[in-house]
Homo-oligomer: A and B are copies of this chain.
Amino acid sequence: MKVGAIEAGGTKFVCAVGNEQNEIIERVSFPTTTPEETLAHVFAFFDQYQDELKAIGIGSFGPIEVRQSSPRYGYILSTPKLAWKNFDFLSAMRARYDIPMAWTTDVNAAAVGEASLGAAKGLNNMLYMTVGTGVGVGALVNGQLLEGIGHPEMGHVIVHPHPEDHYAGFCPYHGNCLEGMAAGPSIDGRLGVSGKEIAADHEVWNYVANYLGQALVDYTLILRPERIVIGGGNMKVPGMLDKIKEQYEQLMAEYVDYPALDEYIVLPGLGDNAGITGALSLANQA
């Protein structure tokens, strides 16, 4: 049995066909342009497998509508990528392929991927966090995706300003929320250059690690997960994972129990394949 998967990112799409073990058989990738042009590439890829595919799983950039009870279920909502705003993604897919489809966010798909074959394999309570141009988080609670009346937006939690950091934050909604203070553009905002151009021991990384450590404290206090997987561009800065763990430990102050830190806060096991693997897993579940 084969299933299909789409990781629909704001800058690129990944499509794959995989097996029942969520392993990738074939994978293609192309830039995200207009919905029409991008879906033409998607269709060209899956059409080759048309008679074999039993389901398709989609992990999409957002915000998206995830409530099955909503008439807009399957839509991309108020994204700044205007061509995709209010695009009925799921219906476009269903019009082409009459098979079961799964639909969730890109970070939820990555969480499912890491829990399926990655760094949180087999765990039912876990988080996947990515820190790049934004901060995105997906979560499993009791083995189910955490979605409530919409998908989480945990990247925007409130943080306590670092006493030496006088940056006001770039989030257009909240200014100095987690994303506003810790995502990639916060480095440009503070220093006028991107994170790639500054040394790994630059003071600004301590601020970033502090804010991320604060968020992990809040996620731990609220969700009590078994493991937190953290990836994305910022995590490629040498030593960043250790800095975050140090901040986390200090901020938590031994208040609640959590697994040994090296088992608790970890890098992704699947690298760039977390999202597409999760989408395969969701297709297999569908």
Contacts and interface: CB of A to CB of B under 8 A. Distances in A.
A258 B221 CA distance: 22
A281 B156 CA distance: 35
A53 B154 CA distance: 44
Nearest to A223: B148
Interface stretch (A39-47, A249-257, A266-274): A249-257
A123 to B, nearest CB: 10
Given A148-B223, A222-B222, A223-B222, A255 B153 contact: yes
A125 B149 CA distance: 8
Query: In this complex, which of A144, A154, A158, A251 has the most chain B Cβ atoms within 10 angstroms of its Cβ?
Result: A158
A23 interface: no
Instruction: Count copies of this chain in the complex.
Output: 2
A88 interface: no
A255 B173 contact: yes
Contacts of A257: 149-150
B148 A141 contact: yes
A224 B173 contact: no
A230 to B, nearest CB: 16
Contacts of A224: 146-152
Contacts of A150: 224, 256-257
Given A125-B148, A173-B254, A157 B226 contact: no
B158 A161 contact: no
A251 B147 CA distance: 22
Interface stretch (A3-11, A79-87, A212-220): A212-220
Interface in A46-88: 63
A159 to B, nearest CB: 7
Contact of A218 (B146, B158, B254): B158
A25 B173 CA distance: 50
Given A173-B253, A174-B253, A251-B158, A146 B217 contact: no
- Among all A-B residue pairs, the 6 with the closest Cβ atoms: A148-B224, A173-B255, A125-B148, A173-B253, A153-B221, A157-B218
